[in-house]
Chain A
Amino acid sequence: MTQQVSPQAFALRGVSKAFRYFKLENLSLELPLGQILGLVGPNGAGKSTTIRLLMGLMTAETGSIEVLGHRVPEQVAAAKAGVAFVSDDMRLFSGATLAWHMRFVASIYPEWDEAYARTLLKHFNLRAEQGVKGLSRGEHIKSMLLLALARRPRLLILDEPTSGLDPVARHELLTELMQIVRDESRSILFSSHNTLDVERICDQIAFIDRGRLVDARDKESFLDRWRRISLDVPTGVTLPRLKDVVNLTLGEQLATLTTDRYEPALDAVLQASGARITDVQRMSLEEIFVASVMRSRAEVQS
């Protein structure tokens, strides 16, 4: 049977799944090959659910899912042959050693790179002969990352990989992740609370909250469109009604305006009303994320 070759690392279209207290609604998300997607969302937003649906660990109620050109869950085994998945709630088999796991994974995946695995042992400061039971939390995660990276997967899916890592280990992980981008056919899905790392290394970013996709676009667009403008508003001056204003805080003769569609023309409009712009600041990804989620929640309620 010929496989429809998809140029995407994965594609979710119209995916929904309901749980007792939570519903993932009509989610559509794609990642082109050779890019890194950062998935950002509060706890319980649906990040892990989305990832588990991608991995075929759960079946969606509506919509379609394709991973590396294979339909999930119909061809999930073929899809997973090219995917490495590490999640912060995952554990290795407690009765074995890291070396056993390395042999186990090497026997399953032909792309296993033993030399690279040995290098990673050094970088991550791990001992292969150590039993899984004796591993600290950070070492456990690093071990799973090693097993995932040494396979040279075409798609690497990471669910909160840095949550148990010290800064040195995080630095090592990011360095190894950025080795993957050298190959334009390899992609990464990176779900994390660590917006600083996401802001630095991701090409695409998706915000998810309460089971819905709040916003998704490339990183540079996000950072370009959002601004926080500080204004002096003398008495007697009223600010014009503007669209694309996410938030407006008014104080005594001062105002702070947050917009997600910034254009230099906006400055002129504000000045024309009599207000004086004292500062136009770019926003960090974290600030953009919080503002987006707040707006999304307010919209849902109204």
Chain B
Amino acid sequence: MKSSVFWALVRKDIYVLRGFMIITVAVGLAALVGMRFGRIGFAIGGILFLTANVAGGIFIAMYSLLTERKEQSNLFALSLPISGFKYDLAKLVSGYVGYGIPWSVLTAIGLAGYFMPYAAADRGMFVYGLVLQLFVMALFSFVLVWLFVVASEVLAGLVILISNICFSLFMVTLNQPEVTRPLHSPHIVWTPFALWAIAGELAVIALSTALALFALSRRRDHLRSL
């Protein structure tokens, strides 16, 4: 019975997030289509695609965690036959699933684009796309975990700000000629930069999640933040 409360809460959260999930996918897909229309289309589409991915993640993380605490419906959820830890875990899972689904759809379709005839000459940029998408997921991981911790909306804003700065820095780094030149090839090239970046991103995701689970398991008060 306990596990069914857990999944009932996750299902409820996904249902609540469905609007964000749909909009994220819709905007992302529209952006991918727009990228086919000339240099300006490519630029705008590219920015829009990134925005959909990053902003979608931030909205989903914030909505998932903060509204329930703010609305005080967390007390109702916590009155159900579920431990405080499982409740927090359900929030974490529904955050990952709620973002994971649109992210997977956009990543799959976006990366598949590199295997289309029109992208044959630039197939190597598949690696660029992968590094970028995994960075966005790592960023989401970071934001989700820290939103568990912060108490006020001011601090939440700070977390968002830091993540935006990180994202900008990353984009600058990723777009350095030394990084992108090897990737403009008809073959997939796993450059050292790409491999390190992917390893780092996966590490951030794993570490953030592990840290979150550790911190949540030691929580003594499930009504406030950590």
Interface locus among B77-85, B137-145, B190-198, B206-214: B77-85
Measured CB to CB, the closest approach of chain A to B217, in angstroms, equals 12
Counting residue pairs across A and B whose Cβ atoms lie within 8 Å, the total is 75
Q: Is B184 an interface residue (CB 8 A)?
A: no
Query: Given A58-B223, A91-B76, A108 and B8 touching (CB < 8 A)?
Result: yes
Contact residues of A between 89 and 121, Cβ < 8 Å to B: 89-95, 104, 107-109
Known pairs A73-B83, A78-B81, A84-B79; A91 contacts B223 (CB<8 A):
no
Bound Cα distance from A249 to B223, whole angstroms: 46
The answer to whether B81 touches A93, judged by C-beta atoms less than 8 angstroms apart, is: no
**Chain A residues proximal to chain B, CB less than 8 Å:** 52, 55-59, 73, 76-81, 83-87, 89-95, 104, 107-109, 144
Q: How far is the CB of A152 from chain B (nearest CB, A)?
A: 15
Which residues in B have their C-beta under 8 angstroms from that of A107?
A: 4, 8
Interface residues on B, range: 20 to 34
Q: How far does the alpha carbon of A234 sit from the alpha carbon of B86 in the complex, in Å?
A: 71
Bound: A48/B76 CA distance, A = 15
Please give me the residue from chain A that is nearest to B223 by CB atom: A57
B1 touches A57 (CB 8 A): no
Do residues B83 and A77 form an inter-chain contact, with CB atoms below 8 A? yes
Q: How far is the CB of A150 from chain B (nearest CB, A)?
A: 14
Give the distance in Å from the alpha carbon of A77 to the alpha carbon of B8 in the complex.
15
Evaluate contact between B83 and A94: CB separation under 8 angstroms.
no
A57 touching B76, Cβ below 8 Å:
no
Chain A positions within 8 Å of B81 at CB level: 77-81, 108-109
Complex contact A81–B75 (CB within 8 A) = no
Q: Is the pair A108, B223 in contact by a Cβ cutoff of 8 Å?
A: no
Q: When chains A and B are docked, how far (Å) is the Cα of A144 from the Cα of B12?
A: 18
Q: Which of A73, A78, A80 contacts B80 (CB 8 A)?
A: A80
Residues from 56 to 95 in B contacting A, C-beta threshold 8 Å: 68, 71-73, 75-76, 78-84, 86
Known: A89-B75, A93-B12. A77 touches B82 (CB 8 A): yes
A91–B79 touching, CB < 8 Å: no
In the bound complex, how far is the Cα of B84 from the Cα of A76, in angstroms?
9
Bound complex: CA A60 to CA B225 (Å): 17
Verify B76–A90 contact, CB threshold 8 A.
Answer: yes
Contact A80 B72 (CB under 8 A): no
In the complex where A58-B221, A77-B2, A77-B83 touch, is A93 in contact with B73 (Cβ < 8 A)? yes
Per CB-CB distance, the 7 closest pairs between chain A and chain B, nearest first, are A81-B81, A90-B75, A85-B79, A80-B81, A59-B220, A91-B72, A77-B2
| Distance between Cα atoms of A234 and B4 in the complex (Å) | 75
